[in-house]
Chain A
């Protein structure tokens, strides 16, 4: 649609204008992603601002309750009527209305305000439209101040679907296309759940660069010849039935490769450093109380409540966790009340960290966090939800999740990574560790402190009390740095740091032998260039066979998935560079 198009995307403009490519019909399933402008769910105004309005009206009514009762239903509250004279001279607007007999005007004014508010909501809903074309997702909104946001599909870092409690009851969901920048997300709030799932699948399919029709019959919801009115009618009708039938439209959900029992989740939160802090505080409190300072008990109550709230919140957030492979990336779901489902396409993970606090060691549990571009604005506090990939899991769980996160690493490599990287050091260690002479830089962990460079990954292993293993895909590495201070130089060691995008993972390793570090610096610099040249994940399914895609999708969920991204790299070797760099220049 060109600039001359009318503001309201009315039914008079069914054909997409010049310059906009409608997505190939065989790739999209939802009538909402046909390259034309569509509106959001009709309940959107209610969910976005209407609830606030209802609350305001409720507060007003609650405050005026006595007055309204006396005015309209005086026989219910005879004792209140006696107080009426007291209100008379106070300059109250309602008294003014009563005294001057302005009931009609007052009612009309209230009605007028309500109509204006509803009209504003309705217009803003009508003006808030989105479209999904072959190349990008676009949203326009605003009545007086129009905003238009367009996100190119090959920069999509993930698509998440958030369903807050109220929206879930109404069968709607918030779709967020994650971009790579501060406040770079495109939000479609709200869509009906089924639509949101379909639109997400479409966005990811279009972003994958898949140009072949996937096998299977075309979906029933193809755009009808009747045009957009018919499509919209269908949509509204379906949403209404969805509303009646129940909140959760059945969506085919791939089975999770990891199952976290609730008991383990709760116990893992109990076995944390905050619990240690709580116990220490309790001991201090006990001593204090026994010495006669009973007032300390009162100060402690808020702390207990705070701990309880923190635990409950973080446990509830991690409940219903699942992680599963899909053809378009990893699908992670969590949250009991507010459910968040996120699909991270391949190659959007910049760093992975596997951690084990010392309290979890007897149980053998691990935590996985990642660095990725979340596209959130700095003020948004929910970032950490999207960076914890596995809240707590056993060693086998970790291996399965890692295989999902980095599908193009051969299996035997993984067993080595788990055995040495997570649990190491072991006999015949293949990591390059801190030399003995530098023990005093890392007095506890110098035996474990080391790195290893495999074909496409840089592994950094460190920490004894908090065992950490950082896994860095070289294709995502931004730069590598070596740092050497005077004491390092005396000991002939160096510290290294891999520079990746911001996140909870800190890829730093101290006290590496100087010669090994210099060799690593060269190897990583070259490896990063090579990996970036062969990397095709920004259009991860381009050139991929449609049948192999569906195979990957139907792959058994219990098994480690086949490498779903860019099969050419699955056999990633240096020989592939020639052809890849050739097409890079094209």
Chain B
């Protein structure tokens, strides 16, 4: 259940194809999928030779240990999970810490200078929520993971409330990469996999920018080779 640090998004589909499918595949489907996979790999290699990305590991470090809920009834899926960059936690700490400071400052001004004692109530609630969010954030960030399997992307997040989503590559409508000013300063980005269903909600935050771009190109390519109707 650890991340394989040498695996790149491009090389992982091939590796997880052998290790990431605990259930036996129907032989016919295996035979049928083979040309598709070969084509995808060829396409990925072509892209790799152009941008020299297939030999490069995801730049920067990522978390290496996945945080999972205790209790053996938790949701478990085989295969190695890619994780996000620790910079995500830093960025979130800075931005949410700034909000927290603003709230506390506003509360202090209202109560001490303007003698509006009611301001303690909303301010206190807000502060508690923010502090709690910040406290659980490092663990939450370690629970985010994704797997690039042969034909689909699996995304997980959450500890207390676990969430697993599997999206076939062919369902991709578009890929969004967003990064705010703070994200850019730390060199991370958020990747969103959009399908025709709004509920899919696969949003991977805190990827290294180069990883996000490699991943995007890879996803677009495999989606192209598995293009289907809506």
Interface residues of A (CB under 8 A from B): 154-155, 157, 180, 347, 373, 475-476, 478-486, 489-492, 494, 497, 499-502, 514, 518-519, 521-526, 528-530, 532-533, 535, 537-538, 573-575, 577-582, 584-585
> When the two chains form their complex, are residues B196 and A483 in contact, meaning their CB atoms are under 8 A apart?
no
Residues of chain B with a CB closer than 8 A to A479's CB: 165-168, 171, 195, 197, 200, 202
| A52, B169: Cα distance in complex, Å | 50
The number of residue pairs between A and B whose CB atoms lie closer than 8 Å in the complex comes to 153
> When the two chains form their complex, are residues B230 and A373 in contact, meaning their CB atoms are under 8 A apart?
yes
Residues of chain A with a CB closer than 8 A to B21's CB: 522
| A195, B33: Cα distance in complex, Å | 45
> When the two chains form their complex, are residues A581 and B32 in contact, meaning their CB atoms are under 8 A apart?
yes
Within 8 A of A (CB), among B31-62: 31-33, 35-36, 39
> When the two chains form their complex, are residues A537 and B229 in contact, meaning their CB atoms are under 8 A apart?
yes
CB distance from B162 to the nearest CB of A (A): 4
> When the two chains form their complex, are residues B226 and A532 in contact, meaning their CB atoms are under 8 A apart?
yes
Can you sample 14 A-B contacts with CB below 8 Å? A155-B230, A180-B196, A478-B196, A480-B165, A482-B165, A485-B161, A518-B76, A521-B77, A525-B151, A526-B25, A529-B33, A529-B152, A575-B28, A584-B226
> When the two chains form their complex, are residues B228 and A535 in contact, meaning their CB atoms are under 8 A apart?
yes
> When the two chains form their complex, are residues B73 and A521 in contact, meaning their CB atoms are under 8 A apart?
no
Give the residue name and chain of the A residue nearest to B170 (CB).
A532
> When the two chains form their complex, are residues B33 and A577 in contact, meaning their CB atoms are under 8 A apart?
yes
CB distance from B220 to the nearest CB of A (A): 16
> When the two chains form their complex, are residues B74 and A518 in contact, meaning their CB atoms are under 8 A apart?
no
Residue in contact with A577 in the complex, picked from B32, B168, B197, CB distance below 8 Å: B32
- B136 at the A/B interface (Cβ < 8 Å)? no
> When the two chains form their complex, are residues A585 and B39 in contact, meaning their CB atoms are under 8 A apart?
yes
Contact status of A578 and B28, CB under 8 A, knowing A481-B163, A532-B226: yes
Residue in contact with B197 in the complex, picked from A499, A535, A573, A578, CB distance below 8 Å: A499
Q: Which of A373, A479, A577 has the most CB of B within 10 A?
A: A479
Give the residue name and chain of the B residue nearest to A524 (CB).
B166
Residues of chain B with a CB closer than 8 A to A494's CB: 75
Q: Which of B21, B35, B77, B230 has the most CB of A within 10 A?
A: B230
> When the two chains form their complex, are residues B168 and A532 in contact, meaning their CB atoms are under 8 A apart?
yes
> When the two chains form their complex, are residues B28 and A577 in contact, meaning their CB atoms are under 8 A apart?
yes
| A65, B229: Cα distance in complex, Å | 61
> When the two chains form their complex, are residues B166 and A533 in contact, meaning their CB atoms are under 8 A apart?
no
> When the two chains form their complex, are residues A525 and B228 in contact, meaning their CB atoms are under 8 A apart?
no
Contact status of A525 and B168, CB under 8 A, knowing A479-B197, A577-B33, A581-B36: yes
Within 8 A of A (CB), among B197-214: 197-200, 202
Residue in contact with A501 in the complex, picked from B25, B163, B168, B230, CB distance below 8 Å: B230
Closest 10 CB pairs of A and B: A577-B32, A478-B197, A492-B73, A538-B229, A578-B32, A499-B197, A525-B166, A574-B28, A479-B167, A529-B151
Q: Chain B's interface: helix, strand, loop or mixed, by majority?
A: loop
> When the two chains form their complex, are residues A484 and B161 in contact, meaning their CB atoms are under 8 A apart?
yes
Q: Chain A's interface: helix, strand, loop or mixed, by majority?
A: helix
Contact status of A528 and B168, CB under 8 A, knowing A478-B195, A494-B75, A537-B229: yes
Within 8 A of A (CB), among B45-92: 69, 71, 73-77
Residue in contact with B69 in the complex, picked from A489, A533, A538, A579, CB distance below 8 Å: A489
Band of interface residues on B: 35 or more
> When the two chains form their complex, are residues B28 and A501 in contact, meaning their CB atoms are under 8 A apart?
no
- B114 at the A/B interface (Cβ < 8 Å)? no
20 other A-B residue contacts (CB within 8 Å) besides A475-B228, A479-B202, A585-B225:
A482-B163, A483-B163, A484-B74, A484-B163, A486-B161, A489-B71, A489-B162, A499-B165, A499-B197, A501-B196, A526-B23, A528-B152, A528-B168, A529-B151, A532-B170, A532-B226, A574-B32, A577-B32, A578-B28, A582-B35
Residues of chain B with a CB closer than 8 A to A526's CB: 23, 25, 29, 151
Residues of chain A with a CB closer than 8 A to B26's CB: 574
> When the two chains form their complex, are residues B74 and A584 in contact, meaning their CB atoms are under 8 A apart?
no
Residue in contact with A519 in the complex, picked from B23, B74, B165, B200, CB distance below 8 Å: B23
| A584, B74: Cα distance in complex, Å | 38
> When the two chains form their complex, are residues A478 and B151 in contact, meaning their CB atoms are under 8 A apart?
no
Q: Which of B29, B35, B36, B162 has the most CB of A within 10 A?
A: B29
> When the two chains form their complex, are residues B228 and A533 in contact, meaning their CB atoms are under 8 A apart?
yes
> When the two chains form their complex, are residues A529 and B168 in contact, meaning their CB atoms are under 8 A apart?
yes
- B113 at the A/B interface (Cβ < 8 Å)? no
CB distance from B203 to the nearest CB of A (A): 13
Give the residue name and chain of the B residue nearest to A585 (CB).
B39
> When the two chains form their complex, are residues A481 and B164 in contact, meaning their CB atoms are under 8 A apart?
yes
| A373, B229: Cα distance in complex, Å | 12
> When the two chains form their complex, are residues B230 and A529 in contact, meaning their CB atoms are under 8 A apart?
no
| A155, B196: Cα distance in complex, Å | 13
> When the two chains form their complex, are residues B166 and A480 in contact, meaning their CB atoms are under 8 A apart?
yes
CB distance from B34 to the nearest CB of A (A): 8
Residues of chain A with a CB closer than 8 A to B227's CB: 584
- B112 at the A/B interface (Cβ < 8 Å)? no
- B160 at the A/B interface (Cβ < 8 Å)? yes
CB distance from B25 to the nearest CB of A (A): 7
| A482, B166: Cα distance in complex, Å | 9
> When the two chains form their complex, are residues A581 and B168 in contact, meaning their CB atoms are under 8 A apart?
no
Contact flags (1/0) for B84-123 with A, using CB distance below 8 Å?
0000000000000000000000000000000000000000
> When the two chains form their complex, are residues B171 and A478 in contact, meaning their CB atoms are under 8 A apart?
yes
| A475, B168: Cα distance in complex, Å | 11
CB distance from B176 to the nearest CB of A (A): 16
| A518, B151: Cα distance in complex, Å | 17
CB distance from A507 to the nearest CB of B (A): 9
> When the two chains form their complex, are residues B197 and A521 in contact, meaning their CB atoms are under 8 A apart?
no
| A531, B198: Cα distance in complex, Å | 21
Residues of chain A with a CB closer than 8 A to B39's CB: 585
